[in-house]
Amino acid sequence: MAKRRHRTRTFAERSDPPIRAGLLSPTRTVPPSIPRPPYALTGDPGPSVSSNVRTPDEIQRIRRAGQAAAEILMEVGPRVEPGVTTDRLDEIVHDATIARGGYPSPLNYRGYPKSVCTSVNEVICHGIPDSRPLAEGDIVNIDVTIYLDGVHGDTSVTLPVGGIADHDRLLIQQTLVAMNEGIGAAGPGRPVHAIGRAIERHARRHGLGVVREFIGHGIGTEFHSGLQIPHYHDPRANTILRPGMTFTVEPMLTLGAPACAMWDDDWTAVTQDGRRTAQFEHTVLVTDDGIEVLTVTADGTVPAEALALTAPG
């Protein structure tokens, strides 16, 4: 789940046909035996107070949470097909999270009503799962975060729904590359803005827009800690990366203009021009000599590489 940098503009115009909100199912329950994050009851995470640098014990726990998040993506990803509802995808993620002894981090975070974000077509991020069935030719981002052993692991992938248009496939492919370029630009001693510079350079090379309103974030004992990771070049993002920092890299790229609008639910962000958008996300760790991607399965499977580019085109 991306961190909102500032409030987006009110939704004004629709594409044809636009994504429309469906019906919401009742809020899913979490067994009382599952440990919960502090905001689970009230919805209020409070101010960020954690350090940007994690302890060795926290890093080990974040690594396990990241692996679990990747496993959940590998479980839900193959269920993406024409006719399945995003509510059904939410159910799969919810059950898979609980099966691993975790709490679905989005659930009641600032009042969010579901256990995963499912963002379809022109929805940039934070789409709320509902009764709308996915249709042939759609694309959908599935954003999974699990709270496990007192820490969060956060990852997402954009998937094709059946066969998709060539420009949508290009968007998915190059958004994945852009995320990897951003991760590749990070490392100990590098400024945060190197990440956004690499992402924006790649996006512009392919004629894609970069959403600015939602950014990557520090993560660990808090879902969103104080560290901010813009996906565009902002020289003011001059924090120097240090070993032990954990954060997300999660660029959102668009086929058209990256200007955002917000639905009345105050969660669903969409492109103003109605053109499609894609996102990928990893949780990463700064090590002494580079970057470790934490949101991979225990056997080294990267969900984006295993799922996003293998579906029929």
Domains of the chain and any CATH numbers: 50-308 (3.90.230.10)
How many other CB atoms are found less than 10 A from the CB of residue 308? 23
For the chain, the DSSP string reads -PEE-SPPEEP----SSPP---PPPPPPP--TTS---TTTTTS---S--S-SBPPHHHHHHHHHHHHHHHHHHHHHGGG--TT-BHHHHHHHHHHHHHHTT-EETTTTGGG--SSSEEEETTEEE-PPP-SPBP-TT-EEEEEEEEEETTEEEEEEEEEE-SS--HHHHHHHHHHHHHHHHHHHT--TT-BTHHHHHHHHHHHHHTT-EE--SEEEEE-SSSSSEEEEE-SS--TT--PBP-TTBEEEE--EEESS---EEE-TTSS-EEETT---EEE-BEEEEE-SSSEEE--S-TT---HIIIIITTS--
Residues 117, 163 contacting (CB under 8 angstroms):
no
The C-alpha angle 220, 237, 107, rounded to 5 degrees, equals 35
CA distance 262 to 5: 13
> Which residues, including other chains, have CB under 8 Å from residue 113's CB and lie 6 or more apart?
24, 27, 107, 128
* pLDDT average per 10 residues of sequence, the chain (313 residues): 52 59 97 98 96 97 98 97 98 98 98 98 98 96 98 98 95 97 98 98 98 98 97 97 98 97 97 97 98 97 83 41
Residues 158, 92 contacting (CB under 8 angstroms):
no
CA distance 250 to 2: 7
Can you give the pLDDT at residue 12? 33
The tokens for 190 are: 């590098």
CA distance 109 to 94: 15
User: Residue type at 110?
Assistant: R
- Give which of 246, 267, 194 is closest to 24, Cα–Cα: 267
Can you give the pLDDT at residue 102? 98
Can you give the pLDDT at residue 53? 97
The tokens for 309 are: 């580019």
Cα diameter, the chain? 51
Can you give the pLDDT at residue 7? 42
Can you give the pLDDT at residue 308? 67
CA distance 14 to 7: 19
23 forms beta bridges with none
Can you give the pLDDT at residue 17? 81
Can you give the pLDDT at residue 309? 61
- What is the pTM assigned to this prediction? 0.93
